Every structure is written in structure tokens, then in C-alpha cells.
Structure 1
Amino acid sequence: MPTNFVAVAEEGSVTKGAQRVRVAQSAVSATIQKLERELGAPLFSREAAGVALTDAGTALLPEARALLSAERRARDTVDQVRGGLRGTIRIGTLHSIGARPASRGMLVIDLAEILGRFHVTHPLVSFQMRSSAQGSAGHLAAVAAGDLDLALVAAVDHPPGVRMHPLGAVRWSFVCSRRHRLADASTVRLEDLADETFIDSPPGWGNRAMTDRAFAGAGIVRSVPFEAADQDTSLGLVRNGLGVALLPRVGSEHEDVAIIDVEDADLDLPIAVATPTDRQPSAATSALLASILKAAGRRPPARRGNGGPAAARPS
């Protein structure tokens, strides 16, 4: 019963919640109605756009999540006794963490390859991979709330209840059209960009937080009329003269654009795996985390801990 309630609450829709748990919508609705009768209070308000939690539903949600976590831990305990890793790992993914071992400055991490090898070794472990419309901020909130077991994030900050396991950092550079007035510059400063029209990621994305902070620190208010969720879209807008952007050098090389270092700002974006601090990970999650850190050349974490070292550039 908590599974259906949590799924609907997180999806904001009975239909999407039913699809997530792979149960008929009518069955999910009936389960929630039964729970509401037992508790004597409505848990959702029905709206045209979906459903929203009532005060009672909001109060119940963390308790329901805790029940699901306890149930998963119980299964993990039994599975370990039976032998072999089992269970499902819920993973938050970034839109673009590329596997580019020959490229300088980009993080060397191929999640698909890691998961493929992990599946061969541990075939009884399954994965649920999710992206977030709120970028890394959405993943961090989901990890803290218990909705994800781990997540790849690009973030300069993280909320309480989350531990960051650094993987490396990606350098962002100034990118403009070859027709731009700064296209032939060897380097630029933030003040050179004060009057530019910017293309950037939506709020909540790690690189957006990084660049907003850099410009705010320089006392510059940017104009950002264009928001794009991926590097290729941003690059296309830059190439066609609609604005400038801060993007990774790798993946931005094109004959129609210039890529220029910014000399007076820290634009190294930390990349990390986020895990919760308030609950013990399953054996499968711990094993996958160790595989990811090993692939990035990092040392697996101690079994417990609340923090991690500062992110460093990969060697």
C-alpha cells in the first residue's frame, strides 16, 4: 500500500504513479481510497492537472518512504543470507556524462559500461534509471528524501542528508560564434561578458548555479533569455548567433564557434555520486558505488560517514 501512495505522490498523477509501479490505474486508485478511509482523512486533492498532497498526505509521505526503506533493507538482509546480490538500485543520471578517455578536461566515467559489467557479475540486481527536469538539484532532493539510492550529480552545493563522493570536475569555457566580437580573444574576463545575451541550463542545474554564482560575485546581472537542457542545443543556438554560452570544451568544438578560457572565474564544475547519510545503503548499492568510484580512479568510501573530500580533477 505505501508503494502506490508514494508513487502517486512523487509523480503527481494517479496515471503516472500506476505506470511507475506497473499496476492498473483502477487498482492504485482503490488502494489509495482504502488508505484514506482507514486513516479518516483525504491524502490527495484531485485537480484537473493531476493530484496534489493534502496536509495529511504531506505528513504521511516521509513515514511511507521510511516504511519502504525498511522493507527494502529487510529484503536485502534475506537476500544476503540466500547468497548473491539482489534487489533494485534506483539511480539518478545526468544528461551528459561522456566516456571520453582520450579527451582532456572531461570526466572519464562511462555509466553504461559500468552497469553492463555489474550486470554480468550480479545478474540478480536490476536498475531503475531516472533523469530530473530540475537537474542535479532534483536528484539531490530525491536522494535526501529516499527516492533514489544514488545519483550522478554536477553540483557546487548539496543539501543536508546527502553525502558527495567526488569523481572529478569539468571545466566550463566561454563559447561564442566565430562572428562574435570576442571570437579572436585569447582569454576573456567576466566583465567582458556583462552585456551579452546568454544561453544557459535551467535553474537547478549544477552548471547554472556555478555560473550564476560567478557572475553574482562579480556584481554582474546576466541576461539569460534562452535555456537549454543539453549541450548540443546550446551549441546550436550559439552557432546561429542567438547568444553566447559557457560550455565544456569537449563536445563544443565546431568550425563555427570559438572556445575561450575565462581567466577570472572558477568554472570547474564538480561531478560526484550522491548517496544518503541517514540510512545504510543496500549491499547491491554499496557494490555499485564502489564500481563507479573505481572506474573514476577514486577510493571506495568507508562504510559510514557524513562527508567527502573536495572534488578534484581526474588524472
Structure 2
Amino acid sequence: MELRQIRAFVVVADEASFTRAATRLNKVQSAVSASVRNLERQLGVELFERTTHHVHLTEAGRLFLPEARRTLAAAQEAQHVLEQLRGGLRGEVRLGLIQTPRHIVVQPALLIAEFRAQHPGVTVSVQAAGSVRHAEDLRRRRLDVAFVILPPEATAGLDLHVLASEKLQLLCRADHPLAERDQVELADLVDQPFIETPATWGNRLATDAAFARAGLTRKIAYEIGDAAGLASLVKHGLGIALGPMSFITEDEIRAVPLASDPPSLTLSLAVPAGHAVSAPAKALLETARELSEPTA
């Protein structure tokens, strides 16, 4: 067996497609198919069930997959050890970025800058998207580390390193009828026009889940993929929102606590669970830990 054959098998398993695997590996599909066929021939088993439109792991493939992942991880770790002996950590770490609260210490740009200063031989490639997309890319091993804001029910398959947590509150104009309340119930908000973040954002997931648990439905008037833009729409009286205090960028906006078990937004750095973390990814997490520690 060769590492390139094992890598081709793992990527096809992750993508459930020879076409997508070839794109990810930057190879022609026939080369990927040949690598997997040669691996199957050497092992004496079929690893995939192939149909015209679908590719599924066989029982043998499901048993072999975790061992294949461990083999690739061990080979990568051995390479990183040798690279460190030759003069420092090398390689690449693929990092997923989201819009993060302004007040947290571990801002993405600061993290990347500090990490690059510590490990100039490591390339940091970044991808900006919503937390749901990052979670799926981590599970499929398309990313090594990602900033995510996800409710607990959306974190399966991930290990989380928590950076900050905030409670959701009602965000409304200072002259809104609810602005002077000490607290509000979700039921008080169902007739209000809502300004929302996209469905792949952690804030939206938490809000949707809170209303679903309460058996309530709200009216979404606007959807915007920018926290400052959301605050601006609230400021101009176009609707209300649920969000953390860190979303507030305007003096005209008030935050009113939710009365019953308000959901939290937890910002974390996530890595795939159940897989060896590469040396560059471990180093990035260590840099984040150092930045998050309070200074004397």
C-alpha cells in the first residue's frame, strides 16, 4: 500500500464522490479511481459500492477507514517531527473564519499574526463562511481548525476549545415599547418584525432553536450576514433582533434580557473529533490558548 492510495480512499470516503475527491486532490478522476482500485486489489476487498450516481462505503470500507485515517495522521506527524528537527515547524493549517465578537481577546487576525510570528514556516490558509459550513468542512477534513458559534446540538463530531460565551438578549431601538422592560418573554416578540442573520450562523441557529422549544413562530422581515449591518437596521426601526451585547454598535440600541432560560452563544475554536490533530493545528490552538490567558 502507498500513502497516496490511502489518501485517495479517505478523500473519496469523505466526499462520497470520486469527482469531488479528484477536485480536492487536484487530480484527474481517472487517477483517483485507479489509486482506489489498486488499493482494493492489494487488500483483496471492495471498499466502495459504486452506482451511477452514488458512492458508498462497504462494510470493509467502514472498518478500514479509521485505520486509514490513523495511518495518514501518523505519517504526517512523522513528517512534522523531521521538519522541526530541520529548523522549525512546517506545513499548512486550514483555518475557518467567522465574524467574531469585538471584545474577545483572540481575534482571528491577531491569532494568525501571532502564529505566523512564532511559526514562519507554516502556511495559514483561510476560508470565511458560516459556522454550519465550517462544522461540515471540519467533519469532512476540508479544514483543520475553525472559529464556530454553534448550539450544543450542532457540535457532533467536533472537539471545542471555548473562547467566549454570551447570553442572547432582545436588541431594539431605545424608543421601542419593549426597551424599558426589565426582561421579556419570547411570546412578547412573536408579532414583531425580526432582523436575522443567515441560517448558517450560530446566532440564527440559537434563535431558531429557542423559538422551536417554546413552540412559537416569529416573522423574519430582513436577513443580513453582518452584525454591524443588523445593528444598523435595528437602529433605524426596521425590526428587532436577538443577539449578544457584542452585536450592539449603536448608542440608540437597547439590550433587554430574556426572562426564561436565554440561549447562549459560545465562540469556540473547533477541530474534528476522533482524529489526530496535525502539528500545525496543535500549534495554532496553543497560540490561541496563550492569547486567551490573562496577563499579569
TM-score (norm 2): 0.72
Match of 1:222 among 217, 223, 226: 217
Aligned residue number for residue 45 of structure 1: 50
What amino acid is the match of 1:153? V
Listed one character per residue, the Cα deviations across residues 141-195 of structure 1 (whole Å, up to 9, x for unaligned) are: 836x766543322234275775432212245332457997646767533231134
Aligned residue number for residue 311 of structure 1: none
Listed one character per residue, the Cα deviations across residues 85-114 of structure 1 (whole Å, up to 9, x for unaligned) are: 1232243x242125x3xxxxx323321232
Aligned residue number for residue 121 of structure 2: 124
Written as runs of structure 1 = structure 2, the 5 A alignment for 1:93-242 is: 93-97=96-100, 100=102, 106-130=103-127, 135=132, 138=135, 142=138, 148-157=143-152, 162-176=158-172, 182=178, 187-196=183-192, 198=194, 200=196, 205-215=201-211, 219-223=214-218, 230-231=225-226
Distance in 2 separating the partners of 1:71 and 1:221: 51
Query: Which is richer in helix?
Result: 2
Give the direction of change, closer, same or farther, for the CA distance of 1:45–1:178 in structure 2 (3 Å limit).
Answer: farther
What amino acid is the match of 2:285? L
Match of 1:269 among 247, 265, 270: 265
3-state SS of the aligned residue for 2:152? coil
The alignment status of 1:67 with 2:71, answered yes or no, reads yes
* Native 8 Å contact 1:177 1:241 kept in 2: yes
Distance in 1 separating the partners of 2:126 and 2:52: 28
Unaligned stretches of 5+ residues in structure 2:
none
Q: CA deviation at 1:272?
A: 1.9
Q: CA deviation at 1:279?
A: 5.7
What amino acid is the match of 1:115? I
3-state SS of the aligned residue for 2:161? strand
Q: CA deviation at 1:40?
A: 4.0
Distance in 2 separating the partners of 1:156 and 1:298: 26
Percent identity over the alignment is 30
Distance in 1 separating the partners of 2:206 and 2:157: 21
* Native 8 Å contact 1:138 1:204 kept in 2: no
Distance in 2 separating the partners of 1:246 and 1:164: 24
Distance in 1 separating the partners of 2:40 and 2:236: 55
The alignment status of 1:297 with 2:296, answered yes or no, reads no
Distance in 2 separating the partners of 1:137 and 1:89: 14
Distance in 1 separating the partners of 2:238 and 2:36: 49
Distance in 2 separating the partners of 1:196 and 1:248: 18
Q: CA deviation at 1:292?
A: 1.2
Q: CA deviation at 1:269?
A: 1.5
Distance in 2 separating the partners of 1:152 and 1:40: 39
Give the direction of change, closer, same or farther, for the CA distance of 1:206–1:251 in structure 2 (3 Å limit).
Answer: closer
What amino acid is the match of 1:9? A
* Native 8 Å contact 1:187 1:263 kept in 2: yes
What amino acid is the match of 2:116? H
What amino acid is the match of 2:32? V
TM-score (norm 1): 0.68
Give the direction of change, closer, same or farther, for the CA distance of 1:170–1:30 in structure 2 (3 Å limit).
Answer: same
What amino acid is the match of 2:50? S
